[in-house]
Amino acid sequence: MYGPQFADILGRVRAKRPLIHHITNYVTVNDCANITLCAGGAPVMADAREEVADMVAVAGALVLNIGTLNTALIESMLVAGAAANAHHIPIILDPVGAGATRYRTENAHRLLDELDIAILKGNAGEVGVLAGAQGIVRGVDSEGLTGDPIGIARQYAESEGFTVVISGETDIVTDGRRTFLVENGDPMMGLVSGTGCMASSVVGAFAAVSDDPVIAAAGALAAFGLAGENAAARCGRPGAFKTALFDELAALGLMELDEHARIKEA
């Protein structure tokens, strides 16, 4: 029943081609650039402190990803984030590996404290750690959290005033009032490095053309998950699957998104 809204958003991404400014890790950055293009957006990666405020000022969204954080990068994220906030440009934060090291946890908290984040998107372990729910993270992989993920996400979103996404077999998307469960996706996505980062880029593209972060995030995850399903239907191995993942997102039809998004309200 939410399908048409998602298709509208995807249609707007393709029509408006929003600039998605990324400050992200050097592991999956190329995949983030290409998936942004496949979603219909225009990626730009820029992390020099001297230029990030200028760059984000013309962007439709800012995606911050701490996958290979360092002090200079965090400083640039804070500068870019402040400019994004000043221009009312939504910030998507992917706290990769929060909980795996104290440094990641502290810096994720710092970004959350100093910036007005629109959408926090992590796995159960990462969000659990940041929400104070004893998440467990090993490297960049979740080993779960203590308690009910939906309840924790909802409460955390409500208390912080942002949208929380917990990615997983079923993605949880909530702003505290509305909660959606997105069931699209395929286990093959876990066999490719960077699918989580790519999902954040697609969320950024959707958020850039929507006033409703919950709907934007749910639609983006459904679209990306559908691309994964379609790719898995024709490619059973990770290398070929990854290529197909890009292709299937680029080829995803608006009506197809309407019809095959598996999103329900919790």
Give residues in contact with a second copy (CB under 8 A): 19, 21, 25-31, 33-34, 37-38, 42-48, 50-51, 54-55, 58-59, 67-72, 97, 100-104, 138-141, 191-194, 237-240, 242-247, 250-251
Q: CB nearer to a second copy: give 215 or 226.
A: 226
User: Any idea which residue has 């697609």 for tokens?
Assistant: 202
Cα torsion 76, 82, 208, 238 to 10°: value is 30
Q: CB nearer to a second copy: give 2 or 103.
A: 103
Euclidean distance between CA atoms 49 and 63, whole angstroms: 15
Euclidean distance between CA atoms 233 and 260, whole angstroms: 14
Q: CB nearer to a second copy: give 152 or 227.
A: 227
Q: How far is the CB of 210 from a second copy (least distance, A)?
A: 20
For 227, counting Cβ atoms within 10 Å of its Cβ (0-12 exposed, 13-18 middle, 19+ buried), the class is buried
Q: How far is the CB of 226 from a second copy (least distance, A)?
A: 15
Smallest Cα–Cα separation from 62: which of 115, 110, 11, 12? Answer: 115
Q: How far is the CB of 244 from a second copy (least distance, A)?
A: 7
Distances (CA, A) of 254 to 11, 12, 203, 223: 7, 11, 16, 9
Q: How far is the CB of 73 from a second copy (least distance, A)?
A: 9
> CA angle, corner 255, sides to 252 and 257, nearest 5?
55
Q: CB nearer to a second copy: give 34 or 170.
A: 34
Q: How far is the CB of 76 from a second copy (least distance, A)?
A: 9
Euclidean distance between CA atoms 218 and 226, whole angstroms: 12
Q: CB nearer to a second copy: give 47 or 175.
A: 47
Q: CB nearer to a second copy: give 120 or 227.
A: 227
Q: Is 250 helix (H, G, I), strand (E, B) or coil?
A: helix
Q: How far is the CB of 30 from a second copy (least distance, A)?
A: 6
